[in-house]
Every structure is written in C-alpha cells, then in structure tokens.
Amino acid sequence: MDKSLKEKLRRIRHVALDMDGTIYLSDTIFPFTLDFLAKLTRLGISYSFLTNNPTRSLEDYLAKLHKMGIEAGTEQMYSTVPATIDYIKANLPSARRLFLLGTPSMIRQFEDAGFESTADSADDRPDAVVVAFDTTLVYSRLCRAAWWVSEGLPYIATNPDRVCPTDQPTILVDCGSLCACVAEATGRRPDAVIGKPDPAMIRGIEHRYGLKADEIAMVGDRIYTDVECAYNAGAFGVLVLSGETTLEMAREWPHAPSLICRDIAELGDLLEEANTHLPAEMA
C-alpha cells in the first residue's frame, strides 16, 4: 500500500455502507460481512447503512439485518424515504396530497409523516407526484403517474437506480427505469432525484457523528450512485466489485473512486493494515 492511500485510510473514522450488492445480495448475506463489521469495531471505526431502496421501512431493514446476524439501531439506518419526505417538506411546504408510485410500506411511511396518498383517479388531483422503486407496480398506477407528470405537477423521484441487484435469474426494474418510462411518455424528467448520488445522507452522517467528509468512507457497488455520492460529498469513495459495477465500467467513469476493492473483506484488510503499528492513542 502506498503512503498516500495509507494516510487517507488512517483518517477514516466511519464507514457508510450501501446494502444490496455490498453487504448482501438480495436475501443472502456475503460470508465475509460479519467479520468485516467486527473488524471495524475492533479498529474503533463506526458504521451505518445507506440504501436507495425505498420499498421497505427502516424497521423492515433493521429486521432483515437482524435475521442475517447484524445488530443495528435506527440511528445507523438511512434510506431515501425519510430523505424524500424531508425534501418535500423543505421545498414544497404546501404539498400535502401526493400521488405515490411505490410499495404499501413506502406509502405508509409518507402517511405516517402527515401526507395523504391520492387514489388512482383523475378526480383525485394531488399536489405532487413521487415515483419510487415499486415492486408492487400496477400498470394503471404507472399510467396515472405519467398523466399527473404530463399535467406539470411537481415530480420527485426517490432514487436514480436503474436496476436493483439480485441473486435470482431476473432483472429488478428500479426507480430510474420507471422514470425513463415516464420520460418517454411525457417528455419530463423528475424535478429532483433524491438518494445517492445526492450527498444529503453523507451530510447527515457528518452532523450525527461530528465528522468531516474525508473521515467518512462511502462504500458501495454502484459507480453512478455510491461512488458519485462520495465524490459529491467530498468523502472517501470505495467501489466494491461484489455487485453491479465491473472494473471496466469503473475505468470509463469520469470520477474515479478513491479505492476499488474486490469486496468489503479486502477493504477491511486494508483498513487494518493502515492502522497497524500506530501509537496506541492514534489506533
């Protein structure tokens, strides 16, 4: 390891982890994940989980992690649903009625935050449209979302991901692809796209843990969301090749990652090496 990389790794005090494709694939945890998290704890490096997937609540994700043997609290979990809710409250303060193209779990989170979910009806006009990764997609609701978008209503997407990683022989069409469908039908792209690569979740970690951007490693398998989020936030971006992005794709991306690793196990080894032989008060 060269001296410059070692110095950058020594500064890392927190690791922000993407989930699907990074610590697990679909419902299968990677065999090295628990050891990696234990290594971070031994090194005195805190960690949190960031996901662009809005299909589940934070409690659902924490329950999924628990089943995999990962114990985490709500303060360690970030998703695009609360980020989108915060965005609408800050930027569209008069919007209360939303047409929500998303799962029932996502819709409940918006309703719990004080919003009203409008029906799939031309008579139930919303204040804004939210398009998300919808694994319960109904064609008529996609058409209704496109109609309201064509009418010029404020239009927000929860995340830009084109596909969701899976270990099954299928392609999980994600929010970015649904937005592309709406764009083809209406000629409009979202007014705002929340989630990585937007740096808002990294900024939240900075505030919550009292850290500077270069003390945070954003780790994920997607060059256009995870690594770009690190770039936008000024954080240390780590691309792992255990999910969507290949080495060839990474080489073509205009903003190179700070580090490319085979998986988080390799990252753990590098962090351990960087923190070896330090004085006790620095380790």
231 touches 255 (CB < 8 A)? yes
Number of domains in the chain: 2
Question: Does 253 reside within a domain?
Answer: yes
- The residue segments making up the domain with residue 110 are 81-193
81 touches 47 (CB < 8 A)? no
Looking at 45-146, which runs of residues are DSSP E strands? Answer: 46-51, 77-79, 97-101, 116-117, 128-131
Rounded Cα–Cα distance for residues 220 and 191 (Å): 26
Rounded Cα–Cα distance for residues 55 and 114 (Å): 19
The pLDDT, as a whole number, for residue 277 is 65
Angle in degrees, 0-180, between the axes of helices 33-42 and 264-274, rounded to the nearest 10: 20
* Shared-domain flag, residues 200 and 186: no
* Shared-domain flag, residues 115 and 91: yes
Rounded Cα–Cα distance for residues 55 and 137 (Å): 11
Widest distance between CA atoms in the chain: 68
Pairing of strands 24-25, 28-29: antiparallel
Pairing of strands 236-240, 259-261: parallel
Rounded Cα–Cα distance for residues 76 and 70 (Å): 12
The pLDDT, as a whole number, for residue 283 is 44
The CATH number linked to 166 is: 3.40.50.1000
* Shared-domain flag, residues 215 and 187: no
What's the full length of the chain, in residues?
283
Would you give per-residue pLDDT tens digits along the chain (283 residues)? 899 999 999 999 999 999 999 999 988 999 999 999 999 999 999 999 999 999 998 999 999 999 999 999 998 998 899 889 989 998 999 999 999 999 999 999 999 999 999 999 999 999 999 999 999 999 999 999 999 999 999 999 999 999 998 888 999 999 999 999 999 999 999 999 999 999 988 988 998 899 999 999 999 999 999 999 999 999 999 999 999 999 999 999 999 999 999 999 999 999 999 998 655 444 4
The pLDDT, as a whole number, for residue 278 is 52
* Shared-domain flag, residues 126 and 110: yes
Please return the burial class of 188, using the count of CB atoms within 10 Å of its CB with bins 0-12, 13-18 and 19+: middle
The pLDDT, as a whole number, for residue 189 is 98
The pLDDT, as a whole number, for residue 210 is 93
Taking phi over 0 as left and psi of -120 to 50 as alpha, with beta for the rest, 52 belongs to alpha
* Shared-domain flag, residues 186 and 134: yes
Answering whether pTM is above 0.85, one says: no
